[in-house]
Amino acid sequence: MDLRNIYRIVFHNDLDGICCAAHFLQQIGSGDYVLHPVKTQIRGEKFERLISSFPKEDTVVVFDFQYHERCKIWVDHHINNVLPREYTKLLVNDTTALSAFQILNPTHAATEWVNIVDACKYPNAQFIFESDHPAMTLNRFIKSTFPHDMIYCRVAEILAKTNIDFERTIGILGLNAEDLVNRELEGCKRAAAFMCVHAEDISVIFESRSGEYPRYAEFYAQKHIAYAIRQVSTGNGKCQIEIGYNPFHRHKNNLDIGKYMKEHELLQTGGGHHDIGGGVMLEKNSEKFIQDFITTMTGDDCMEKLAVDPTDSVEVEAAEMVKIGSAKSQEEGREKVVMEGKIDGDNSGLKL
């Protein structure tokens, strides 16, 4: 296939997508390109607008994200409800792969760690937040840094120059592994304070921005949580919903979450893997969606139980702060309780 040397490289802004972009940069050498990192929420209409903004003569390649008919090269490994009519060697969607990078370069030394991170093949939740392996340090930086396209682009370009060597890359970036660990543990404390728990093992968090709390924080804070639901507004009356299963839970997950998200009638776009999935919907429908999921898993139809329990230790401490005047509101009280470390949980790592 005759490909033009001006590439629009669209890639998911996680470790897998960034490594895919880095690999492609190595392949094109001195070719002209523009990098376009995309977050999970840029699906459906927003993704269509992004691709449509590219000049028609440019070559569009997409890694670790949904398909678009303008793709000349497309590599993904998610269940997706927007697929090409035909597959070729340049259009690949292998849902059996643990990462998109594995499809591109299965023998690369970095593939094992990209697979571990993307498919959550960690030995336990503690490893996620406490390991100082270079791949984990880089992933922490990607997840915890303020979301800015230039950061993801810079990481991709450095990875390309180091032949996707995680240790050399974090050295060039000047990352401090210990600082990043402490920052994530602080995020776990906050997540533990603000999540609602239903039926003892389903948690719900409403984020004010995407990635406000570290991924898997629910499972680190409370080991008995089986399913974690997160919702964040994406604007224009829509929101992103994500459901993840605790891979360290004592019980097996019998629900194909990716398929569930793809097929649910309230989701405009959706998909994912067996143990994690996400989608976009109208924000006004999110409460019903959450209720549907809880009913599916427990048979319990009572959204009111998602309300904050006033007997919760954080709520009690916050209410006392409001009473004595050290906090102006219950929300401010919660924030102070969390920051001061006055929080109950089953993981001592939360006590920083």
Confidence class for position 306, pLDDT limits 50, 70, 90? very low
| 261 plus 294 within the same structural domain | yes
Distance, CA of 252 to CA of 245 (rounded, Å): 9
SS3 103: helix
In this prediction, residues 151-170 reach a mean pLDDT of 97
In this prediction, residues 89-94 reach a mean pLDDT of 92
Q: Which residues pair with 204 in a beta bridge?
A: 196, 229
Contact status, residue 261 vs residue 272, Cβ threshold 8 Å: yes
Supply the pTM of this predicted model. Answer: 0.70
Kindly state whether residue 178 falls inside one of the protein's structural domains.
no
pLDDT score of 337 more than 80: no
The DSSP letter of residue 88 is B
Report percent pLDDT > 90 for the chain. Answer: 57
Confidence class for position 313, pLDDT limits 50, 70, 90? low
Residue 316's Cβ-count burial label (10 Å; 0-12, 13-18, 19+) is middle
| 166 plus 53 within the same structural domain | yes
| 50 plus 198 within the same structural domain | no
Kindly state whether residue 179 falls inside one of the protein's structural domains.
no
In this prediction, residues 120-143 reach a mean pLDDT of 92
Give the lowest-confidence range in 32-41, 50-59, 129-138, 186-195. Answer: 186-195
| 303 plus 313 within the same structural domain | no
The residue out of 145, 173, 201 marking a domain boundary is: 173
| 320 plus 267 within the same structural domain | no
SS3 87: coil
Kindly state whether residue 237 falls inside one of the protein's structural domains.
yes
pLDDT score of 31 more than 90: no
**What's the first-to-final CA gap in the chain, in angstroms?**
56
Kindly state whether residue 35 falls inside one of the protein's structural domains.
yes
Strand pairing category for 267-272 and 276-282: antiparallel
The residue out of 153, 173, 193 marking a domain boundary is: 173
Give the lowest-confidence range in 7-21, 87-101, 189-203, 304-318. Answer: 304-318
| 286 plus 142 within the same structural domain | no
Work out how many domains the chain is built from and give that number: 3
| Domain membership of residue 67 as a residue range | 6-173
Radius of gyration of the chain measured on its C-alpha atoms: 21
Distance, CA of 188 to CA of 169 (rounded, Å): 26
Cβ-based neighbours of 51, under 8 Å, separated by 6 or more: 10, 60, 68, 70
pLDDT of residue 211: 79
Structure tokens at 337: 């309780």
| 228 plus 293 within the same structural domain | yes
In this prediction, residues 193-199 reach a mean pLDDT of 85
Kindly state whether residue 1 falls inside one of the protein's structural domains.
no
User: What CATH number corresponds to the domain at position 232?
Assistant: 3.10.310.30
Confidence class for position 161, pLDDT limits 50, 70, 90? very high
Instruction: Choose the most confident range, by mean pLDDT, from 22-26, 36-40, 319-323.
Output: 22-26
Report percent pLDDT > 70 for the chain. Answer: 86
pLDDT score of 304 more than 80: no
| 320 plus 291 within the same structural domain | no
| 13 plus 158 within the same structural domain | yes
Confidence class for position 239, pLDDT limits 50, 70, 90? very high
Query: Among the residues of 195-246, which ranges form H helices?
Result: 217-221
Q: Which residues pair with 6 in a beta bridge?
A: 32
Kindly state whether residue 323 falls inside one of the protein's structural domains.
yes
pLDDT score of 330 more than 60: yes
| 163 plus 225 within the same structural domain | no
| 24 plus 68 within the same structural domain | yes
pLDDT score of 45 more than 50: yes
Q: Name which residue leads in pLDDT, 31 or 25.
A: 25
| 295 plus 319 within the same structural domain | no
pLDDT score of 35 more than 70: yes
Confidence class for position 347, pLDDT limits 50, 70, 90? very low
Kindly state whether residue 58 falls inside one of the protein's structural domains.
yes
In this prediction, residues 300-311 reach a mean pLDDT of 47
Kindly state whether residue 299 falls inside one of the protein's structural domains.
yes
Q: What is the mean pLDDT of the chain?
A: 86
pLDDT score of 51 more than 80: yes
Q: Name which residue leads in pLDDT, 294 or 332.
A: 294
pLDDT score of 202 more than 90: yes
